Structure 1
Amino acid sequence: MSRAETRQKVFAAAIDLIAEQGYSATTVDAIAERAGVAKGTVFYNFGSKEALFSALLEHRIGYLAQALRDSAVGATALDALDAVVLGQLRFFEEYGALARVLLAEMWRTAWQEAIVQLREQALGVYADVLRRAVAEGQIREDLDIDTAATAVFGMVLTVAIERQALYPDRPVSEVHATLADLLHGRISR
């Protein structure tokens, strides 16, 4: 198994365990066992549990940001906004554990670099689309873009977690339609 494959297995095990029981309760032993590798392999690849989690956040936030950038297309900025919301819902449908970790663990002061990365990369996609919507005259010029980007991202994150936990059979398209209606009613001119 290559080093990259090993890191992916450890990342998958760590994110699942942290989502299930929290960062503090998750041990390197448990991560290694779930990943099917020796404890020493985890330390060899990451050095510490903290470094593993930091690398995990950086890696997965990068995936999320790329998924949002890839989905930010549309004839108008509001079409692009709707597409980004749908892209985020679909991403968290596939990577639900990351959604739970972001909501529960991300805001600790130890992970400030990851918060900056999330803000610049993932929330930055929302901010760019919202700026475009202002430029196109589709939303209010006085909208606080940074706050709006955080609010939309957080709303979608929370709804994605709720859907997974309580309504897993609810179609993503139905959830997306509700969110789009809510957004258009609140930020449109």
Structure 2
Amino acid sequence: MSRPETRLKVFASAIELIAEQGYAATTVDAIAERAGVAKGTVFYNFGSKEALFAALLEHSIGKLTEALSAAAVGDTALDRLDAVVLGQLRFFEEYGAFARVLLAEMWRTAWQEAVARLREQALGVYAGVLKEAVADGQIRKNLDIDTAATAIFGMVLTVAIERRALHPERPIEQVHATLIDLLHQGSL
């Protein structure tokens, strides 16, 4: 197995375990066992549990940002906003463990650099679309873009987790329609 493949396997195991039992309770031994690699392989690739988690956050935030950016298509800024919301729902459908880790672990003081990257990159996609909507006159001019981007991201994150945990039979399209109704009913 190549080094990039090994790192991805360790990332997948780490994110699952951290989502299941929390960062503090997750050990390198458990990550290595789930990944099917030696503990030394984890240390060789990352150096420490903290470095592994930091690399995992960087990797996952990058993938999320790519997914949101790719989703941002449509004729108007509001169409693009709607598409980004759907893109985030779909991303967290595929990467549910990362969604749970974001909600539970990301906001600790130790991960402020990752929070800054999340704000700049993933939330930046929302902020960019919202800025376009303001410029086009589609939403009010005095909108606090940063707060709105954070609120929309957080709303979609929470709803995606809740859907997976409590209502997996509910189609993503139905959840998306409800979220879009909320956004379009004057909350912006």
Which TM-score bucket, shorter chain as reference? over 0.9
Query: Is 1:160 aligned with 2:160?
Result: yes
Whole-Å separation in 2 of the counterparts to 1:186 and 1:111: 34
**Per-residue deviation at 1:117?**
0.5
- Alpha carbon RMSD of aligned pairs, Å? 0.6
Query: Is 1:53 aligned with 2:64?
Result: no
Which amino acid counterpart does residue 117 of structure 1 have in structure 2? R
Q: Kindly, what percent of the aligned residue pairs are identical?
A: 80
Q: TM-score, normalised by structure 2?
A: 0.99
| Aligned counterpart, 1:73 | 73
**Per-residue deviation at 1:135?**
0.6
Which string of whole-angstrom CA distances, capped at 9 and with x for unpartnered residues, describes residues 119-160 of structure 1?
A: 000000000000000011000001000000000000000000
Contact 1:80/1:129, CA 8 A, preserved across alignment: yes
Whole-Å separation in 2 of the counterparts to 1:159 and 1:187: 17
Whole-Å separation in 2 of the counterparts to 1:149 and 1:10: 31
Whole-Å separation in 1 of the counterparts to 2:23 and 2:120: 24
Whole-Å separation in 2 of the counterparts to 1:118 and 1:66: 12
Which amino acid counterpart does residue 68 of structure 1 have in structure 2? L
Q: Which runs of 5+ in 1 are unaligned?
A: none
| Aligned counterpart, 1:142 | 142
Whole-Å separation in 1 of the counterparts to 2:187 and 2:124: 18
- The runs of at least 4 consecutive aligned structure 1 residues that moved more than 6 Å come to none
Q: Which runs of 5+ in 2 are unaligned?
A: none
Contact 1:139/1:187, CA 8 A, preserved across alignment: no
Q: TM-score, normalised by structure 1?
A: 0.99
Which amino acid counterpart does residue 57 of structure 1 have in structure 2? L
Whole-Å separation in 1 of the counterparts to 2:31 and 2:80: 38
**Per-residue deviation at 1:187?**
3.7
Whole-Å separation in 2 of the counterparts to 1:79 and 1:34: 41
Whole-Å separation in 2 of the counterparts to 1:146 and 1:84: 16
Query: Is 1:20 aligned with 2:6?
Result: no
